[in-house]
Amino acid sequence: MDELDSYSRTVSAVAAQLTPRVAAVRMARGSGSAVLVDAAGIGRPGASGAAPSGNAEVLLITNAHVVGDAGHGRADFVDGTQVDVTVVGADPLSDLAVLRAASTTGLPTPATLGDADDLVVGQLVVAVGNPLGLAGSVTAGVVSALGRALPTRSGSAGRVVEDVIQTDAALNPGNSGGALADGRGRVVGINTAVAGIGLGLAVPVNATTRRILAALRADGRVRRAYLGVVGTPAPVPATVADRYQRSSGLRLAEVIAGSPAARAGLRAGDLVLDVGRQPVQDAQGIQRQLFGDAVGVPLPVTVLRNGAMVDVVAVPVELR
């Protein structure tokens, strides 16, 4: 180890830390990877657990597209340990799923969850998974971009996974559901897609996704509120930007007829500046407020319309 350069030492240390904690999962119609996590620590960044006891709840995080419509499967760890898993919940709109292990016997300590919001472009990241059926494979690269958007769909509902991590660490089929870790071995993303040659995408582990994972663990699904707008980021006129210290907002390209947004009086062309009294610069700024606890609750919206500030109140409904 002393003969290795610092980059190699970092990657090797992360590989040694995470490889035992990333399993190959086989479901009824698909396969991929999954990360062993501490059930009690899902909501806390930096949390990891001790070795699972006989009555501990042991969970694994993977992608919803790996699970599909399966209810059961099997997880195989690199040391040969096998455990049956049950699907606790899957959320196609975030491409995340939670599995529960039937037994804790022989399982390693859980991985440590980090916070993707602390990442910077150019930072070293390490991907661990089971690409092409090759168990315990490790690749390394850098964060090549942040804030990417990954369109997802569940039935007629469409959504954008926010703040997706783009990396040049090599990802191949089978990496889906595996860990993307920082140089300290903390899981900051769940690998989800190969975007092209030399490009991979990972769902970030941050406050929003921990909230999703906690909901899946507790309820088996994620309740979301629906507003009914489609928009794109747009600059704020200079006079308004100077007055309100705001450089950009969300220009509404479409307001769905009959939606809560339409009933509140929002119109295509409006420039959304605030939702729920929080600044909005893109669609994600609205989405992160539209979880189940927003259903039926009045939501103030401030827009710029024809040079004037307009305040409306929308009441989101549950997304079905």
Half-sphere exposure for 180 (CA within 13 Å, toward CB): 34
Distance of CA 57 to CAs 28, 169, 200, 246, Å?
A: 23, 32, 31, 46
Catalytic residue among 94, 137, 144, 176: 176
Please tell me what DSSP assigns to residue 66. H
**137 assigned to active site:** no
β-pairing verdict for 225-226 and 317-318: antiparallel
Catalytic residue (one of 31, 33, 38, 65): 65
For the question of residue 95 being annotated catalytic, the response is yes
CA-nearest of 136, 146, 81 to 108 is 81
SS3 212: helix
**Gyration radius (Cα) of the chain, Å:** 21
Give me the catalytic one of 91, 95, 163, 270: 95
Q: Which residues neighbour 227 within 8 Å (Cβ) at sequence distance 6 or greater? A: 259, 260, 261, 286, 290, 299, 314, 316
Q: Is 69 a catalytic residue?
A: no
Q: Give me the active site residues, please.
A: 65, 95, 176
